[in-house]
Amino acid sequence: MPEENIVLRVEDLHTYFYTARGTVRALNGVSYVVPKGKVLGIVGESGCGKSQTAMAIMQLVPPPGKIEKGKILFKTARSGQSSEGNGWVDITALGRHSDEMHHIRGNEISMIFQEPMTSLNPLFTIGNQISEAILLHQGVDKAEARQRAIDILARVNMPNPERIVDSYPHQLSGGMRQRAMIAMALSCTPTMLIADEPTTALDVTTEAQILDLMRELQADIGMSIMFITHNLGVVAQMCDSVAVMYLGRIVEHAPVEDLFYNAKHPYTSALLRSIPHLGERKVEKLQVIRGAVPDPYSTVPGCPFHPRCDHYMRGTCEQEMPPETIVGPNHMVRCFLYQ
Amino acid sequence: MAENQVASNDILLEVKNLKKHFPIIGGLFRRTIGYVKAVDGVSFYIKKGETLGLVGESGCGKTTCGRTVLRLDGYDPTDGEIIFDDPKLGKVHIEKLSKEELKAVRPNMQIIFQDPFSSLDPRMTLERIVSEPLVINKVLSGQALRNRVGELLELVGLRSEYMTRYPHAFSGGQRQRIGIARALALNPQLIICDEPVSALDVSVQAQVINLLEDLQAKFNLTYLFIAHDLSVVEHISDRVAVMYVGFLVEMAATDELYFHPKHPYTEALMAAIPIPDPRNRTKPIKLPGEVASPANPPSGCYFHPRCRYAQEICKQERPLLRDVGNEHWVACHLAEELQLSGLTGHNK
């Protein structure tokens, strides 16, 4: 992919958590790029590391976690800050509380979380919380910041934005809080938005409206979105390309159509077969993946999926991690079947 | 309500006009200042050996409905009838039974809970968890009890050696299997499955759904399957009922409901399903406003403030659930006139 079409490049990222019970390798060599103006889906089951990639990008990996190895290269708009040349800056090299990181976080890259109630401060009005980022990053006065907050609330289709701007989070419903979170994330027109399960806590009709809104804003503003979810339906509806994660590694990365119609990794195809498809009721049983995601403290030698895989090849799969294999345009898979 | 349609002895559970109101206590003298009408006039029936899906958004009362049917602690119905066809006692009115009489019927009606992490006592071994219903009801003891526990564990796909272990040693999917084994212990007729797979990972969900289907076929079980995931409900249910603010708005055979809905709320639900197919991207139906509060519902049809088809009558009169043909029940004044769209672009 030509460099000018990339906003973020993650290279061989390792995040480890050093706990009393042992080391958890949350990310174990993750590499991907986020293309400009596109939606990249990161999908996987609990504990696969999908949220930790987001935390690493924001420099928010909580202790006892640590970025152990790898690079996160981000194309910053701020001049004179590039450590890697051509406007690229390595986020892993920045301090969590450094000036550079403060400039990037919430301004060039913003994030929305799964549970809006826990990420909004209950003591401040919605308007206050949106204005905070605008005041911090945009250098405008309070009246102007408030007006911008109202504008951005209107932009996310919040009913009655002049009233909502003075409301407290507890006065809003779940869907409205998530709209407020999105408004806050968009307030500084970021280059990249990280959405970590933004609709998982919402009801299906509210979820559909929020996804529709995000699609609309994305097309409008042209920002890149990294969309983290476990829901394959949401992936199909939202994303341009998808990275499938399993136990701290990306096992397949493909354009969304390829992933759903031409999945290569046994884990991806098994996941797709295990979800109920509408209109095929009780025609056949759901396919299952045997076993469960292994305990995070254990290490699986070789391919992390081999103990649950139907195509397990003795003497190969448990020996080493399969390398990245290109099987089509922008289609990468890590599996010995394609060697 | 259904006698004219369905032979009465095919019906295992019939619920008529069920209400469960929770008092709101407040004010200086801690008086009751209002009621949350969590379940407000729900009627449905489940035939023997079938699965009735019960769907609706959070707070619509579907869980309360399931618990009130069983009369779990604190869930005695405010009003209405719950008629269960007990294999020994025949048709019994659950709502009229004393606590003592209830004990005779309970073994035939069991429940599986949503959260496999909080519904199992961490200080009890699997053996104690699964054998508890057998011990309380004095069904078995000694070696026969142990054998039965082992048999139940094998039945749900766990090894009988596990019975000496504690719940923390098991994953979410395995814990849900333990909960299912416990529910099966007394050979029930009816199992209320309250969001049994929503806390599980995608790959484990399928295992539990398949297990529930296998057990149903093996023991001719009847399920009330409560869930918010419309794809899962479609997969497992023979018929589906849709709830909105404490009231059933529609009930029909699964395909009929998904592909030919007759209530505007069901139509909006169907349009909102995130379909796992990138070639079939959907556009949701805009629902203005918020879900009505069960403590202060609007006049007439509870859905009218958000309904794009609403007319004057919808604000005045609350529509009752009625059969518009072929066991398709709808609570909408305009059911006959509206041409609503269901799922499209699928195999049907």
Residue A42 CA to residue A52 CA, distance in Å, equals: 11
The token pair at A151 is 């504008």
Among A85, A87, A12, A15, smallest CA distance to A250 is for A12
Is the CB of residue B168 less than 8 Å away from at least one CB of chain A? Answer: no
The token pair at B299 is 């006049």
Q: Which amino acid is at B10?
A: D
CA atoms within 13 A on the CB side of B300: 16
B260-273 pLDDT, tens per residue?
Answer: 999 999 999 999 99
- Residue by residue, DSSP assigns A169-224 as GGGS-HHHHHHHHHHHHHTT--SEEEEESTTTTS-HHHHHHHHHHHHHHHHHH--E
Residue B45 CA to residue A290 CA, distance in Å, equals: 36
pLDDT of residue B3: 45
pLDDT band at B2 (very low <50, low <70, confident <90, very high): very low
ipTM associated with this complex: 0.86
Contact between B272 and A260 using a beta-carbon 8 Å cutoff = no
Is the separation of the CB atoms in B21 and B255 below 8 Å? Answer: no
Residue B179 CA to residue B181 CA, distance in Å, equals: 5
Q: What is the mean pLDDT of chain B?
A: 91
Residue A124 CA to residue B320 CA, distance in Å, equals: 44
Nearest CA in chain B to A236: B278
How far, in whole angstroms, is CA B272 from its chain's centroid? 21
How far, in whole angstroms, is CA A73 from its chain's centroid? 16
B287-304: average pLDDT: 88
Interface test with B, best of A43, A281, A309 (most B CBs within 10 A): A281
CA atoms within 13 A on the CB side of A61: 25
Residue A107 CA to residue A134 CA, distance in Å, equals: 9
Q: How many CB atoms lie within 10 A of CB B137?
A: 14
Contact between A278 and B234 using a beta-carbon 8 Å cutoff = yes
Is the separation of the CB atoms in B38 and B297 below 8 Å? Answer: no
pLDDT of residue A298: 81
B209-227: average pLDDT: 95
Is the separation of the CB atoms in A76 and A82 below 8 Å? Answer: yes
Give pTM, 2 decimals: 0.90
In this structure, are strands B31-47 and B11-26 parallel, antiparallel, or unpaired? antiparallel
Residue A13 CA to residue A31 CA, distance in Å, equals: 7
Q: Is the peptide bond before A64 cis (omega within 30 degrees of 0)?
A: yes
Which residues of chain A carry a pLDDT beneath 70?
A: 79-83, 280-283
Residues paired with B191 in a beta bridge: B110, B223
The token pair at A175 is 């869907």
Among B86, B6, B80, smallest CA distance to B46 is for B6
Residues 251-290 of chain A with CB under 8 A from chain B are 256-257, 260, 270-272, 274-282, 285-289
The SS3 assignment for A14 reads: strand
Q: How far is CA B162 from CA A110, B42, B158, in A?
A: 47, 42, 7
Contact between B206 and A159 using a beta-carbon 8 Å cutoff = no
DSSP-assigned letter for residue A296? T
**Residue numbers in A near B57 (CB within 8 A):** 203-206
Q: Tell me how many degrees the CA angle B271-B274-B280 measures, rounded to the nearest 5.
A: 80
Nearest beta carbon to residue B278 from set A230, A257, A285: A257
pLDDT band at B321 (very low <50, low <70, confident <90, very high): very high
Is the separation of the CB atoms in A250 and A243 below 8 Å? Answer: yes
B41-91 pLDDT, tens per residue?
Answer: 999 999 999 999 999 988 889 999 999 999 998 899 999 999 999 999 999
pLDDT of residue A282: 59
Residue B142 CA to residue B145 CA, distance in Å, equals: 5
